[in-house]
Amino acid sequence: MPRALITGITGQDGLYLGEQLVGRGYEVFGLVRGQSNPKVERVERLVPGVVLLEGDLTDLPSLIGAVEISQPDEVYNLGAISFVGLSWKQAELTGETTGMGVLRVLEALRIAGGNDLSRVRFYQASSSEMFGKVRETPQRETTPFHPRSPYGVAKTFGHYLTVNYRESYGLFACSGLLFNHESPRRGIEFVTRKISRAVSRISLGLQESVSLGNLESRRDWGFAGDYVDAMWRMLQQDSPDDFVVATGETHSIRELLDVAFARVGIEDWSGYVRTDPRFFRPAEVDVLVGDASKAREVLGWKPRVGFRELVEMMVDADLATEAAAAGQTLTDR
Ligand code: NAP
Ligand code: G4F
């Protein structure tokens, strides 16, 4: 039975990846931080048989302990401060977790991973945020980086460390340059979920409006369940490499609002959306769109869920949750 260690198992991607690996016959170990993490119950429900290990990306001994106990064949480093907006407010924490955390996981593997490092396969959750102020469109594996946030800078550090440990120690290390991916399990701080939740609450009469920042930025949004499959495929290759994972389509926040509000029968959303300076960023990534040809050709990967289906899936899920919480019954839509 192959053994996988996942950092960030309580997050959106950790939950989907854990589920998929259990389905593929893996023994799954997940790193959980904090002395009483409220997300443990959800992980245990969604990832049957998971073994949870206490640890933190800012604490090397705990990572060494997790590697010693799990003796992993595959390590997926998904843990991070992942919210770009927070990374300006807590830049040092972001650097320690999202950047230095990668170094600590790699060092834990070197210290406790056994004599033959090429036996362990390592996945680093890198990000399209590294492309930042983009130098070419669409972005591919060879596009230079120009990160625009402390988060993007920390991810760029983690990416280059991953490449360096591959070149220095022969570690089977892959960096996935993943574009935005979403789902009903997305955190409510991210714009897709903030909108899907607000739209559902507005339609149920539970909220009057939603306050947002820049409506003009554009993202290449895919479905998280599809993207964690690409992570696994990277670690099944004969040799380690880096891959862009994206849909190849870009949409603005305005288009996201169009689809989300239309799902609940509202065609003109202007009366429900406010702009608030608090949600604008000190430096913005204006447009992202990825070219995933390499992932398609080498990994045989392609996205299955399109933009409209993704947004509708998220609105429907929030409608069901919010209606249940409010004791309302949904009529057929
Ligand atoms: P997420 O939902 O925010 O999950 C982040 C995970 O990191 C959570 O499990 C969190 O634990 C954990 N974490 C935070 N600080 C930690 C620490 N000090 N020690 C150990 N764990 C810690 O993020 P996601 O959307 O699943 O993304 C997974 C990874 O992919 C992240 O590294 C993210 O930066 C990267 N990424 C995401 C996207 C995307 O669009 N989703 C795109 C590109 C790259 P708690 O639950 O305890 O807070
Ligand atoms: O949903 P977002 O916060 O995602 P962002 O910044 O693109 O980062 C996500 O994707 C990255 C991959 O490119 C990941 F690495 C990262 O971990 C994370 O998962 O913001 C998307 C866009 C931005 O342009 C932002 O300025 O939406 C704009 N936006 C406008 N109003 C807003 C809001 N974003 C948020 N979170 N909240 C708003 O009210």
**In contact, 79 and 30? CB cutoff 8 Å:** no
Pocket test for ligand 2, best of 134, 190, 210 (most atoms within 8 A of CB): 190
**Tell me: the pLDDT tens digits for 87-96?**
999 999 999 9
Distance 178 CA to ligand 2 centre (A): 14
| pLDDT value of residue 329 | 86
- CB 174 near ligand 1, within 6 Å: no
Residue 332 has pLDDT above 80, yes or no: no
Please give the distance, rounded to the nearest whole angstrom, from the Cα atom of residue 85 to the centre of ligand 2.
7
Average pLDDT over residues 99-108: 98
Is 180 a pocket residue for ligand 1 (Cβ < 6 Å)?
A: yes
DSSP-H helix ranges across the chain: 12-23, 40-46, 60-70, 84-89, 91-94, 100-112, 150-169, 191-203, 224-234, 253-263, 293-294, 307-326
Q: Assign 116 a pLDDT band (cuts: 50, 70, 90).
A: confident
Q: What is the pTM of this model?
A: 0.98
Positions annotated as catalytic residues are 127, 129, 151
* Residue 333 pLDDT grade (very low, low, confident, very high; cuts 50, 70, 90): low
Name the residue at shortest CA distance from atom 25 of ligand 1: 12
pLDDT-above-90 percentage for the chain: 96
Cis check: omega of the bond before 138, within 30 degrees of 0: yes
Q: Using a 6 Å CB cutoff, which residues line ligand 2? A: 82, 84-85, 127-129, 179-180, 189-191, 194, 212-214, 217, 219, 253, 279, 281, 284, 288
| 8 CA distance to ligand 1 middle (Å) | 5
User: Is there an atom of ligand 1 within 6 Å of 159 CB?
Assistant: no
Q: What is the pLDDT of residues 18-42, one digit of tens each?
A: 999 999 999 999 999 999 999 999 9
Q: 82 CA to middle of ligand 2, Å?
A: 10
74 has which bridge partners?
Answer: 4, 121
Give the tens place of pLDDT for each residue, 173-186: 999 999 999 999 99
Predicted local distance difference test score (pLDDT) of residue 52: 98
Given this model, what pLDDT does residue 12 score?
98
**Which atom number of ligand 2 is nearest to the Cα of residue 285?**
24
Distance (Å, rounded) from C-alpha 195 to C-alpha 192? 5
Mean pLDDT, the chain, as a whole number? 97
Residue 48 pLDDT exceeds 90 = yes
> Under a CB-based contact definition with an 8 Å cutoff, are residues 213 and 283 in contact?
no
Reduced to 3 states (helix: H, G, I; strand: E, B; else coil), residue 281 is coil
Quote the ligand 1 centre to 187 CA distance (angstroms): 10
81 lines ligand 1 (CB under 6 A): yes
Closest ligand 2 atom to residue 288 Cα is: 13
